[in-house]
Structure 1
Amino acid sequence: MADNLGLLSVLLCTILFQVSLAVGNLNVEAFSNGSFSISVGGKQWFRSGSVGVRDLGRWWSQEDGSLELTGSGQSEGVINVGPFTSYYYEWQAKGASSLTLTTTVSVFEQMPAVLFVLVFNDKATNTSSNVNSTLSTFPSFVIEEGPVDRGYVTWSGNMARFMKIDRWSPDVPIYSNIDGGLPLVVYDSVMENAVVMAPASDFMSANQATFNNTTTGEKTLAFGPLSSITEIPAGYVCSMVLVAGNNVTDSMMQFGNFLKTFYKKDESYRKSDFTINYLGYWTDNGACYYYDTGNYSNYEEVLDAVYADAQTANIPFRYLQIDSWWYYKGPENGVKNWTAKPSIFPNGIEAVAKKTGWPIEAHNRWWSPVTDYAKQNGGKFEFIVESEASLPVEEEFWDFLFSSSKETWNLLVYEQDWLDVAVTRLQALRNTVGLGRMWLKQMGAAATRYGLTIQYCMPWPRHLLQSVEISAVTQSRISDDYTPGNSQWQIGDTTILASALGLAAFKDNFHTSVIEKGCHNTENEPAPALETYAAALSGGPVGPSDHILKANRTLIMATCMSDGRLLKPTHPVMSLDSTFLYRAFQSSGPNGQLWAAYTEVGPFTWYYIISGTMSSAYTMHASELPPSTNVKPRTSFPPSLAYTYTLDGTVVKAMNFTGTLDIPECSVTDFQYWTLSPIMASGWALLGELNKVLPVSETRVVDIITSNGDIHVVYLSGEPGEVVPMTVYDTGSGTTEVTSCTIDSSGNSYFLFPHGPCVDSM
């Protein structure tokens, strides 16, 4: 990262220029006076506001002449994102401050992206003001009407689950706060063009805010370090990126690809994460046994009974999550000591891990000011200690914590919860530039050394952005804590953010039966099927949390193979872009939760469309569906069968998909779920496993051999001995056929489409 930003911030020459560069639907014009303009889809969307910075307790601004442009230049270069052209500007504060700044505008040639970099060449002091603004304004964009109607969407709050959506207008507030407003997507009213704006470095210290120009009266959106930071060291670099795309989802995916490439995030950690790929049993908030042992005297007995029940019911849980009920806490409920209480685990966590064979995902929260690990309290490690929380500041602490836990009780995933509260309780995380980044990177580096992965919980968007520098962070919670009957299944918006950043999205635990008496929460779960479908379609962990003897095996097994391996889509479920049109403009798009996922195997794509709640009926068009490698719904859609089914294998409705699908008004108990299956040249369609949420998943159907534009062989994967029912549909006669395929000893079976049989080798 330092190499990339350093190359982009070197001033090579001083010349006068006015240049324009276009990539895709993005055009950037830069001028030697320090200004720029950005056009999208051939129309100007943004022009620059003034450059400013806080130093010595006041603002120094281009706007009032106290910050002066002293030079400008242009150069070219190449980094891992690709070749770029940069425009450089030198700034000098006038008067009491001797602060100098360098700003750059770098336009990339191979993707529609522009990177803005601000370098503090000198130390800035007494920079802080309120926490929810910025202490500099580069880049800044004038917020104005036209030339097209635009809306905006951004993420906020814990789990980044609160969506702020409105029109882009100087008369409409743009959400900005330490808890969100990042990334921010601006899109047109026909969803043909969109841009993402977000920090591109030191995400934990970055922010955006709106300002009013005291000279022109214009309202601007600016990016820079958090305004609560008290000083900026000389040489500090902060950056912001703007990436263009065709719609909200497309621009977010391009934005995520930019950051993941820039920081070289290794996504193999996510792809191989055991807890993302296999079924687990969960005990966090909302779970039956959350701070509640029922009729048992301790958690060792509870979890032994959970394991025995799973064995009897033949439910293949493969790991165990233990929540905050197991370790020692200080007087303010922060972590005092991350070891198990004997009253909770009389024989230690290791006894449960050994008996069950389940590796452990373990919860943690913020550190108490009286934590035993801090030198201030007689411990061995350097901590920052304040009145409400503390923070480890040396990597050796994480080495100690992870090595001992992995060796002793088979820690597999470290769940760092209460990320937002750590920031609100610890002033140093809000006031010290780079501290949040250091904390999370030290945690991640140690996890990598010990073969662990990390789940973030209660993150703000800035935590998720910071994960692009930390390959060990593979997953994040994206919903509120589960309570039977609440709406935390609504994950379609936040999966966009998580997926863009290379994170698996976790819906949280859930009950699979309506009534589960004797649990911590006494409420009934009215929609266990919807909870299950949302979890399976998320592409992330799936974690039932049922009472012993109450688990609905049919629903649980609909998410996985017989050995607990999860059946996954290629593209996790996300809100349709048209939903953002309705919420910003109230003139088009569905009024409700309408999402889509897809599985792509070979040249074919299977779409999954789900609506948990719809306030009014809506006709969905094929053009609203996300594009796959082989299907571009905006231009054409292959012949497909639209069908619904029940998990006993019954096809309820089946019809040729003619480009529209009528979604009725619905609620959580009658949610709508449709699959679109490509129709082959022969007139047959592969429906797949109709006892699963994802009848065709990339986990089960690993390859397809085609012949003359038709499926010839379907290559299946599974547990040896597992029987996989493959259903096909004849569009000519309107009938189905089912062939049972038994997975061989090597974990494979080959289904000869459409009539079978299944064979062990090809």
Structure 2
Amino acid sequence: MWIKGIVILCTLAFSHALIPPTEEPDAFTLQPPYLYEGGARCSVDIGCLTLTNSSSVSGTDGIGQYVGIFNTHSTPLGTRMTTLAKVYDDLDVTVYETSFPDGLEGCSMGDRNGVCTGYPVFNLVNAASNTVFRYVTPGDSMTGWNLYSQGSFWSSYRQFRSGEMGGIAGFIIPDSYSVVMSALQHPMAVNNWLDVNGTSASLHYGVQGLADSIPAGYSISVIAVTGRRESSTSFVSTVLKWGQSVQMKNDVVKIPDYTTEYLGYWTDNGAYYYYNNDHFEDYEKLITSLNHFTITQQIPIRYIQLDSWWYYKGVDNGVKNWTARPDIFPHGIAPVHNATGWPILAHNRYFSSDNVYASQNGGNYPFFIDEENKKAVPLDKHFWDDLFDEARQWGLSVYEQDWLDREYEGVSALHTNITLGDDWLHNMASSAAQRNIAVQYCMSLPREALHGAAEEAVTQIRVSDDYHLATNQWRIGHTSLFAHALGLKPYKDVFWTTELNNNNPFTWCQVFQPTLQGITTNYVGHINVTESGVPCVYWDSIDFRAQYPTYSLPENFCRNPGMLHDRAFCFTNASLDYPEELWTWEYCDVPTCETDCYVREGRYYIGNQSVTENGHNCVDWNGYFGLTGARCRNPDGTEDRPWCFITEDYTAIDFCDNKCPEAEEYSPDLQSAVATLSAGPVGIGDKMENINRSLVFKSCRSDGKLLQPGKPLTAIDMYFLSDSRPNIWTSETTISSKYTFGLIFIAEVSQRYSLSASELNLEKSLSGTTLLWYNYPYIDQLTIYPSNTDIETPKTGGFRNFVILATSPIFEINGDTYAILGEVDKWAHVSSTRITDITIEEQAFLVRIDKYSDESVYMRFYKNGFIFEIACSLNNNLIDVIARTCS
């Protein structure tokens, strides 16, 4: 029978299709469920798992009303496995629940990326068909940014992200339908596993593959959401509908998060003060000076982020003691918080096996300690209660849990104990929520993002790699979409507001570092051709980012993943279609740091510089610090840069000035625009004297309140349907519940397009007659588009030449035509934090604005083909557009 778009075959109660068959009658039909018991697979098709009961059910839950089929299966040992497929009225949503009334022992199947139970198991489109079948899979850290993959399924399925790195899967049959699926309940315990056999493929969801046992009464669930072309539903709309259903099921209200509403200053990877206190004696003096500087320069910083440089590290560089080191904060963090008034957003990473909190190390709290991987996980909520109570005393407002991927991957119990992962994250978040401390997830796997969606304290999530001035880190339109769908504010990471920051600790030359394993190399620059001038193959095309997840492998830039060679190289002819031993590679002509310059404090400098900055010749170290030779060195990081003895009696030293060339931020405007229009936190990280004040104010009011759109800029369907992934992202803001304004961001797009409102995901803002213009760079060229008219988008050059188009509805008042251009000097021309109401009366067009104190606000309007500006200052905040007054 047909039930609301779902086929249920009553003769085989375990089998039904996700959507009605179209060109592919077998697509997304279910295979029988299975489980592993005693290490052996037990399933219906081999006669081991027996269907003992089947019944129809109906009911209502957080998602809505549903009908479904409830089945009970049993193994020869009497172990029961129940499955329930729930189909929701008019929603094209199906939830698949699996429960284990008796528990299950010996369920490990030996593969951490596999599943030890299988339900649901979907057949996918067969390779022999002529159907265009595409997939979309966020993968690995940063909400799936690090190993995100999409493409034509049968030509690139090897890059389909499943297992530990995946979990969220999207499928598109263009002009027909799209599907998005993921874990729903207990996502930390759920894997998905892709099985390809010849021309057939299936996607299996179930309990993670290394689970030792499943407790009695334990259950998991998986959600699948369908969008149909006949109802003009785009893939983006399907993602949003999936996320809305997940949010409805979770039924949580996020706690307020100050750092998502105001401008902040960040000190994380890429910021000027990341492990760099410049000329200041310590960070207490640095931050109080930064605070004083921003006040005198009227730069409205409202909070500060403290990264991993301030607390004690243990083995494997994990957290040993999450308290301030006295050489960093001599009097603790509280005096800094009290002196500046800045709330603190504080970083933390995985706990080391020798942390001071674990009872095994003499502490007060139970931990699971993985001695082999040198990591640990707290087991008790009381640990988080005490940690956060103490941190609140020194100003903690937001807790940043970083390195989530490494914690999950590196703690064995998180793969064998299926309750530990969700308990660990829930204890953390529930404790934070009770204290009104918001939580940011960083380096989170898709499973962790899914868990965060269910926690009221988890308000924001990183959707990009670390900043470190990379030229691709800003591309977040796709991951912002998934984060936004889950109700999490997407965060791009810190950025510079200026192109250069003198004496910054980042460089584009190749570093050679001596280690116990030999000389290792590191290069993070942008050279992408070999010594002979041959272009490099993109790392994604050969899936090296999956093979070497701890290495940064952007685009086709020269690198040395896994120390495969002596220095930076790239492949010149390589493909997943033939064996790796047949691939060809070459070294790259990359400037090196080891012969003539040093980076950061020069601790690993091993070059030949032998003359100091004052012209003195170095003398032989003669065994001091275990060194020989007359060369500049910084043994054990004793100074802030290389030095040497300059007298034979070793009583005088001098410093060396051969610092490597510095990195450059090629487009501060792009970084600022993307950070602001992502509708998440905005954090700058320049050297204080270099902060570009005018660029800062494109993001916020004079009090630092962020001016952002109603939803983040997110990629449109064209991104997911094209192998070239054009960066055309859109956003909308609705004022007074009925007037919607749009933004279209375009970067690195080499051709013009004509796109409909649905293709742009701007159905609301383009529903009527619309005014469109270039908001960045601002141009007084205005175009009126009638409703249901395609928008012509321009082509752009490199990312420096990005474009932002803005729209306004047309208002017809007393025979005149009006539109609101808003604040053209802001990234968001219209924001609900600035324009709080729009009222149209017979003889009036009123716009109410919100501003800080005596801030001056300049709003532009369109009337009958002309543009005029109204300035509001002092306490006036009501613009009469027709009278052109601010009263």
Identify the range of structure 1 (452-461 vs 476-485) with the bigger mean alpha-carbon deviation.
476-485
The answer to whether the aligner puts 1:567 opposite 2:707 as a matched pair is yes
Alignment partners' CA distance in 2, 1:490 and 1:179: 24
Q: Deviations over 1:16-71 (max 9, x none)?
A: xxx3211xxx4332424221123259665421112111110110112222222222
Equivalent in the alignment of 1:618: 753
Matches of 1:455 and 1:171, distance apart in 2: 33
- How far the C-alpha of 1:241 sits from its partner, in A, is 1.0
Residue 259 (structure 1) aligned with residue 238 (structure 2)? no
2:563 corresponds to: none
Paired position in structure 1 for 2:383: 397
1:684 is matched with 818
Give the match's secondary structure for 1:571: coil
Pick from 76, 89, 99: which aligns with 2:71? 89
Structure 2 partner of 1:718: 851
2:709 matched to 1:730? Answer: no
Give the Cα–Cα distance (whole angstroms) in 2 for the partners of residues 443 and 591 of structure 1: 37
| 1:490-569 matches, cutoff 5 A | 490-521=475-506, 522-569=662-709
Structure ranking higher in strand proportion = 1
TM-score (norm 2): 0.77
Residues 464-473 or 611-620, more deviating: 611-620
Matched letter for residue 10 of structure 2:
F
Q: Deviations over 1:496-515 (max 9, x none)?
A: 11111110001100000011
For the 8 Å contact 2:718–2:725, the answer to whether it is kept is: no
* Residue 466 (structure 1) aligns with: 451
State the shift of 1:352 in Å. 1.1
1:165 aligned partner = 150
How far apart, in 2, do the equivalents of 1:147 and 1:703 lie?
52
8 Å Cα contact 2:732-2:762 kept in structure 1: no
- The answer (yes or no) to whether the contact 2:730–2:762 under 8 Å persists in 1 is no
How far residue 227 of structure 1 moved from its aligned partner, in angstroms, is 0.4
**Counterpart in the other structure of 1:68:** 50
SS of the residue corresponding to residue 474 of structure 1 reads strand
Q: Give the CA deviation at 1:289.
A: 0.3
SS of the equivalent of 1:296 reads coil
Q: 1:89 to 1:456 in 2, by over 3 A?
A: same
Q: Does the residue aligned with 2:811 lie in a helix, a strand or coil?
A: coil
- Give the counterpart letter for 1:283 in structure 2: T
The 5-angstrom pairing of residues 402-481 of structure 1 reads: 402-407=388-393, 409-481=394-466
Correspondence list, 1:601-680, <5 A: 601-602=735-736, 603-627=738-762, 630-631=764-765, 637-645=767-775, 651-657=779-785, 659-680=790-811
Task: Check conservation: 2:190, 2:205, Cα contact below 8 A.
Answer: yes
Question: What SS class does the counterpart of residue 253 from structure 2 fall into?
Answer: coil
SS in 2 for 1:644: strand
- Is residue 137 of structure 1 aligned with residue 107 of structure 2? no
Distance in 2 (alpha carbons) for counterparts of 1:591 and 1:224: 31
Letter in 1 for 2:234: N
Matches of 1:742 and 1:223 in 2, distance apart? 59
Aligned to 1:695: 829
Partners of 1:453 and 1:171 lie apart in 2 by: 39
Whether the 8 Å CA contact 1:484–1:524 is kept in 2: the answer is: yes
Deviations 1:448-492 (A, max 9, x none): 111101000000111010012211000001100001243111110
Letter paired with 1:177? S
Q: Kindly indicate whether the alpha-carbon contact (under 8 Å) linking 2:166 and 2:445 is maintained by their aligned counterparts in 1.
A: no
Q: Is the 8 A contact 2:95 2:221 kept in 1?
A: yes
TM-score, with structure 1 as normaliser: 0.90
Q: Does the 8 A contact of 2:776 with 2:805 survive in 1?
A: no
Aligned residues: 710
Cα separation, 2, equivalents of 1:469 and 1:483:
31
- Check the 8 A contact 2:429/2:456 in 1, yes or no: yes
Moved more, 428-437 or 217-226: 217-226
The aligned counterpart of 2:552 is none
Structure 1 letter corresponding to 2:790: G
1:149 maps to a residue whose letter is: V
Matched AA of 1:155: P
Q: Structure 2: how far apart are the matches of 1:310 and 1:100?
A: 64
Comparing 371-380 with 84-93, which one deviates more in the overlay?
A: 84-93
Matched, 1:36 2:16: yes
Q: For structure 1, list consecutive stretches of 5 or more residues without a partner in the other structure.
A: 1-18, 584-589
Q: Distance in 1 between the 2:348 and 2:138 partners?
A: 24
Per the TM alignment, residue 119 of structure 1 is displaced from its structure 2 partner at its CA by: 1.2
Q: Equivalent residue for 1:228? A: 210
Out of 356, 363, 380, the residue aligned to residue 379 of structure 1 is: 363
- Deviation of residue 121 (structure 1)? 2.6
**Structure 1 300/29 Cα, relative in aligned 2: closer, same or farther at 3 Å?**
same
C-alpha RMSD of the superposition: 2.1
Are the equivalent residues in 1 in contact too, given 2:853–2:874 (CA < 8 A)? yes
Q: 2: CA distance between counterparts of 1:167 and 1:225? A: 28
**Do the aligned partners of residues 180 and 445 (structure 1) sit closer, same or farther apart at CA in structure 2, a change above 3 Å counting?**
same
C-alpha distance in structure 1 between counterparts of 2:449 and 2:282, whole Å: 35
Q: What pairs with 1:329-340 in structure 2 (closer than 5 Å)?
A: 329-340=313-324
Shift of 1:166: 1.9
What letter is aligned with 2:286? V
Contact map agreement 1:51 1:63 (CA 8 A) in 2: no
Deviation at 1:92, TM superposition (A): 1.8
Superposition map of 1:244-255 within 5 A:
244-245=226-227, 246-255=233-242
Between 1:332-341 and 1:173-182, the stretch displaced more is 173-182
Aligned: 1:118 with 2:253: no
Equivalent position of 1:756 in the other structure: 884
User: Counterpart in 2 of 1:188?
Assistant: 173
- Which position in structure 2 is the counterpart of 1:311? 295
Residue identity matched to 1:669: R
Following the alignment from structure 2 to structure 1, what is the Cα–Cα distance between the partners of residues 45 and 719? 39
Q: 1:256, CA displacement in angstroms?
A: 1.5
Residues 247 and 621 (structure 1), Cα distance of their counterparts in 2 relative to 1, 3 Å cut? closer
1:540 match: secondary structure: coil
Structure number, greater radius of gyration: 2
Query: How far apart, in 1, do the equivalents of 2:51 and 2:677 lie?
Result: 52
Residues 595-633 of structure 1: per-residue CA shift (max 9 Å, x gap): 0111111322111111221244434333322246x44x5
CA distance in 1: counterparts of 2:860 and 2:9, whole angstroms: 58
Query: Which of 79, 83, 90 matches 1:103?
Result: 83
Q: CA deviation at 1:740?
A: 0.3
Alignment match, 1:741? 872
Equivalent residue for 2:326?
A: 342
- Does the aligned pair in 2 maintain the 1:728–1:754 contact within 8 Å? no
Which residue of 2 is the match for residue 13 of structure 1? Answer: none
Question: Please, which moves more after superposition, 110-119 or 531-540?
Answer: 110-119
Compute the displacement of 1:84 (Å).
1.4
Residues 615-665 of structure 1 show CA distances to partners (whole Å, capped at 9, x for unaligned) of: 44434333322246x44x5xxx32222211458xx5343222352223214
CA contact (8 A) 1:132 1:176 kept: no
Amino acid at match of 1:306: L
Map Cα deviations across residues 358-380 of structure 1 (whole Å, 9 max, x no partner).
01000000001111011111111
Deviations 1:297-337 (A, max 9, x none): 21112112211221122110000100000000102111000
Aligned equivalents of 1:501, 1:221: Cα separation in 2: 22
Q: Which of 418-427 and 39-48 deviates more? A: 39-48
Does residue 153 (structure 1) correspond to residue 136 (structure 2)? The answer is: yes
The answer to whether the 8 Å contact 1:398/1:443 transfers is yes
Within 2, Cα distance between the matches of 1:265 and 1:432?
A: 26
> Is the Cα contact below 8 Å between 1:57 and 1:125 reproduced in 2?
no
Quick one: distance in 1 between partners of 2:268 and 2:466? 8
